Amino acid sequence: MTSVTDRGIYLDATGEFVDAYIVPYADAWDRAGAIPEDLLDRLSGAGLWAPFLPVTVGGQGLDMIGFGTLHEEIGRGCSSVRSLLTVHSMVAWAVQRFGDDAQRERWLPPLAAGRTLGAFCLSEPAAGSDTSAIATRAVPHGSGWRLTGVKKWITNGQRADLFLVFARLGAGTVAFLVPRGTVGVGVRPIDDMLGTRASMLAEVTFDDVELKSDALLGPSAFASGMVLTGVLDLGRYSVASGSIGIIRACLEASAAYTEQRTVGGRPLRELPLIQAKISDMVTDLRAGRLLLADAGRLKDAGDSATLMATWIAKYFTSTAAARHAAEAVQIHGANGCSPQYPVARYYRDAKVMEIIEGSTEVQRTMIAAEAYRGRVR
Amino acid sequence: MEIRQRVLGFITARFPLAELTGSEDIFSLGFVNSLFAMELVMFVEKEFGITVPNEALRIDNFRTADSIAALVQRQLSVTA
């Protein structure tokens, strides 16, 4: 961004974009189980795929606080669309942070423009939060490697052009950039999930895939885990932002419904128990934004404290989103269980937020460990 | 404050009960994981205004406060 004004215009325009092109169609995409190509093109036109990338490679140069605001906006409209942006952002960020000059030159411009869509390949049939259980393996082959394994629950795996794949190499875990068209790469769609149903999940197989030396992203050995740590941190930040968007969507839907719906001749909004639910949504929306802004400010400052701040923001916002989405359905009664209102989608999507990019249980373990750090010898 | 002391300050701020000297192997203390490794690299880059290139992200460069200080000195001389 060249100025504060440009930044404000860009973020305002994103809100208008969400209202015009996402909110009216999100329920239909949810039922269809896919995001249409024309929306993907519109995201490219609006510069929304990886806006934190520098202007020199086609990005917007957006700071991380702005990035969080942007993903809140997208998340209030459709968590599936936000999920596509999340994994794409993770790939783009990893190339920017850990890529060499050739990798940056090759991949950043098309990632910024949305001509190349990225997907993040970590989870496997037997390895989710436990990344040490990854079974996908790379073995040296000539000047490169051969890659074999199965990745599961890969967001946008059905459509992505470039996979960021984490694999065991010796005793460490390393990251590879694998184009979709590489011989030995297979994609099998996964449909009919509980939530984020339009995020085009897939199982991606790597069958003795031959990779050249330019496929390795970032350091190997001791520091290779930093790629995964850094990428997951950004993903967590995006999911926290999207969770705030869900809370906001629940609040807006519930406020509108309780103004119009009457019981005993009085609007629902006059009932104290309804007011209690609404007040909790308002409060958690503000609290979530403050936690996220703290994590974003620390990211923009390059401060390592952002890692724990992001864990905390994601834990708070994802659990709050699940809680408030359940209350939004409760407020809407039978209507809330029907496809006529979006709150059922929010409810299903919010549950997913408690699982992805570090489950609630893993986050609580990490956050609790912070309290005991000073006691470690 | 010299570089080594600032590095030690960061580590002991995170782990107040860790008794560490400049030459002590921080990996032997048992609290280094990928999260702390990332925090350590981010601290070094922010505190000293450098970027640690991929080829310098080796365990030997981060094993002790002394080796981290030497890495910082090398990177500062590259960018000077």
pLDDT tens sequence across A218-268 = 877 666 778 899 999 999 999 999 999 999 999 999 999 999 999 999 999
High-pLDDT (> 90) share of chain A, %: 89
As a whole number, the mean pLDDT across chain A is 95
- Chain A positions in Cβ-Cβ contact with residue B57 (cut-off 8 Å): 218-219, 222-223, 226
| pLDDT band of A195, cuts 50, 70, 90 | very high
What is the reported pLDDT for A288? 98
pLDDT at B47 over 50: yes
- Asked whether the predicted pLDDT for residue A377 surpasses 50, the reply is no
Q: For chain B, how long is the longest CA-to-CA vector?
A: 36
Residue A58 near residue A108, CB atoms below 8 Å: yes
What is the residue extent of each domain of chain A?
4-117, 119-222, 225-375
A to B CB pairs, distance under 8 Å: 72
Q: Do B17 and A376 touch (CB under 8 A)?
A: yes
Question: Residue A63 burial by CB count (10 A; 0-12/13-18/19+): exposed, middle or buried?
Answer: middle
B42 CB neighbours in chain A (<8 A) are: 302-304, 306-307
pLDDT of residue A177: 98
Chain B residue set in contact with A, beta carbons under 8 Å? 14-19, 29-31, 34-35, 37-43, 45-46, 54-55, 57-59, 62
Q: Which amino acid is at A68?
A: G
**Which one of B19, B34, B46 has the shortest CB-CB distance to A226?**
B34
Annotated active-site residue A327? The verdict is no
Contact A222 B41 (CB under 8 A): no
Q: Which of A230, A373, A376 sits opposite B38 (nearest CB)?
A: A230
User: Which is catalytic among the residues A124, A357, A361, A370?
Assistant: A357
CATH code at B72?
Answer: 1.10.1200.10
Looking at the domain covering A225-375, what would its CATH class be? mainly alpha
**B16: nearest CA partner in chain A:** A374
Shortest CB distance from A226 goes to which of B18, B38, B55?
B38
B56: nearest CA partner in chain A:
A219
Say if residue A374's pLDDT is above 70.
no
Q: What are the residues whose beta carbons fall under 8 Å from the beta carbon of A191, sequence distance 6 or more?
A: A33, A197, A201
- Count of domains forming chain B: 1
Q: Are the Cβ atoms of B14 and A373 closer than 8 angstroms?
A: yes
Substitution target in A216, A231, A232, A304 with the highest count of B β-carbons within 10 Å is: A304
Is the pLDDT score of A123 beyond 60? yes
Residues of A in contact with B18 (CB under 8 A): 376-377
Rg (CA), chain A: 21
Residues of A within 8 A of B19 (CB-CB) are 377
**Chain A residue whose CA is closest to B34:** A225
Contacts of A373 (CB under 8 A, 6+ apart): B14, B15, B31
pLDDT higher than 60, residue A2: no
Answer whether residue A376 shows pLDDT above 50.
no
Nearest residue, CB atoms, A222 vs list B14, B17, B59? B59
Q: What is the mean pLDDT of residues B14-33?
A: 78
How many angstroms separate the CA atoms of A251 and A254, rounded? Answer: 5
Segment A69-88, tens digit of pLDDT: 999 999 999 999 999 999 99
Residues 6+ apart with CB under 8 A from B27: B59, B63
Tens digit of each residue's pLDDT (9 = 90 or more) over A27-50: 999 999 999 999 999 999 999 999
| Residue A135 reports pLDDT greater than 80 | yes
**Nearest residue to A246 (alpha-carbon basis) of A340, A155, A153, A344:** A344
Residue numbers of the domain that contains B19 = 3-79
Q: How far is B44 from chain A (nearest CA, A)?
A: 10
Among A218, A228, A301, beta carbon nearest to B34: A228
Separation of alpha carbons A240 and A87, rounded Å? 14
**How near does any CA of chain A get to the CA of B4, in Å?**
18
What is the torsion angle, in degrees rounded to the nearest 10, for the CA atoms of residue A90, residue A92, residue A98 and residue A101? 170
Task: Tell me what pLDDT residue A375 has.
Answer: 53
Considering all CA atoms of chain A, what is the largest pairwise distance in Å, rounded to the nearest integer? 78
Q: How far apart are CA B7 and CA A245, in angstroms?
A: 39
Q: What per-residue confidence (pLDDT) applies to B15?
A: 79
CB-CB under 8 Å, A374 with B16: yes
CATH superfamily, domain A4-117, is Acyl-CoA dehydrogenase/oxidase, N-terminal domain (1.10.540.10)
Is B37's CB within 8 Å of A366's CB?
no
Closest CA to A186 of A236, A152, A145: A152
Residue B39, number of CB atoms within 10 A of its CB:
22
**Cβ distance of A376 and B15 shorter than 8 Å:** yes
Q: What are phi and psi of A340, to 5 degrees?
A: -75, -15
* CATH architecture observed for domain A119-222: Beta Barrel (2.40)
B9 CA to chain A: closest CA distance, Å?
A: 13
- How does the average pLDDT of chain B come out, rounded? 86
CA dihedral A23, A28, A32, A35 (to 10 degrees): -20
CA–CA dist A237, A376 (Å, integer): 28
